[in-house]
Amino acid sequence: MPYTPHIEHHFTGGLVVRDTVIGLSDGLTVPFALAAAVTGAVDSTGLVVTAGLAEIAAGAIAMGLGGYLAGRSDVEHYASEREREELEIEQKPDVEALEVEDLLQSYGLTSEESAPVVAALRKHPEAWRDFMLRFELGLEQPNPRRALTSGVVIGSAYIVGGLIPLGPYFVSATAHGALPWSVGVTLTALAIFGWIKGRLTSVRPARSALQTMLIGGMAAAGAFLFTRATAPLIERLIS
C-alpha cells in the first residue's frame, strides 16, 4: 500500500499578524479620535488633515520604535538566559538533571522512562541547554532580524490605518461633512481587517470582524469622548 505523507498546515505568520493588529488598530482609532475632536472645534478640513498627518507621523515613529525596542529586548533576554543555562549545566549538572527529570515527569513519564532521556541530554550540552530554555523557561530563540521587521510592520500599519479615517477630509469641502464618512469608513475598515485576521488565524471570520469592529469602535469612541471633554479646558489654557 503506497505511503501518503501527512502534511500539516499551520499558520506561521502569527507575529506579523500581531504587529499588524497593533499598528493598524491604533492607527485607525487614534487619528480618528483626533480628527473628530478637531472637527468639533473648527470646520476646517485643512486644519484637520494637517493635525492628523502630524499625529500619524509621530505615532508611526513612536509605535515602530516601541516594536523595535521590544524585539531587541527579546533577543537580549534570550541571550542572557542561554548564558545562564550554560553555566548551570557546566557548574551544577546534577541539579539540572533533576530538573529535566521533574519536567519529563510533569508530562506523565516515569522515572524509568525519564532516565534514558536525561542520560542522552547529558551527552549533548547544547541540546540540553536548548531543552531547558524551551521547556523550563518557555523561551524560543528569536530571529535577530525580528526587531527591525516588527518596527517596520507596526509603523507601516499605523500609517495605513491612520490615513483611512482621514480620507474623507481630503475630498470633503467641510470638516463637519467629512466626519460621518470618516466614522463609516473607519468602522468598515475595522470589520474588513477583522475578517481577514479571522481567515488567517482560523477563527470564524464573522466573529472576528464583529469583535474587531466593536473593540476598535469602543476604543475610538472612548478616545473621542475624552478628547472632546478636555477640549474646552485646553482652549482656555491656550487662550
Domain-wise residue ranges, the chain = 14-230
Integer CA distances (angstroms), 87 to 77, 90, 117, 227, in order: 16, 5, 21, 53
Please state the pTM of the whole predicted model.
0.73
50: pLDDT strictly greater than 70: yes
Rounded-to-integer distance, Cα 18 and Cα 101, Å: 35
Highest mean pLDDT out of 16-25, 71-80, 191-200: 71-80
Residue 202 or residue 166, greater confidence: 166
Average pLDDT, rounded, for the chain: 81
Q: Outline where the chain has alpha helix (H).
A: 14-41, 45-91, 93-106, 111-122, 125-131, 146-171, 175-200, 205-238
Rounded-to-integer distance, Cα 143 and Cα 200, Å: 22
| Confidence at residue 231, expressed as pLDDT on a 0 to 100 scale | 66
Rounded-to-integer distance, Cα 204 and Cα 196, Å: 10
Give every CB contact of residue 170 below 8 A, 6+ residues apart in sequence: 45, 49
Rounded-to-integer distance, Cα 239 and Cα 227, Å: 18
Per-residue model confidence as pLDDT tens digits over 183-207: 889 888 888 888 887 777 677 888 8
Sole residue written with cell 530538573: 99
| Confidence at residue 19, expressed as pLDDT on a 0 to 100 scale | 86
Count the Cβ atoms, other than its own, within 10 Å of residue 104: 19
Per-residue model confidence as pLDDT tens digits over 117-161: 888 888 888 888 888 888 878 878 788 788 888 899 999 999 999
43: pLDDT strictly greater than 50: yes
DSSP state of 202: T
DSSP state of 133: I
8: pLDDT strictly greater than 50: no
Instruction: Judge contact between 43 and 175, C-beta under 8 A.
Output: yes
Residue 13 or residue 193, greater confidence: 193
| Confidence at residue 238, expressed as pLDDT on a 0 to 100 scale | 58
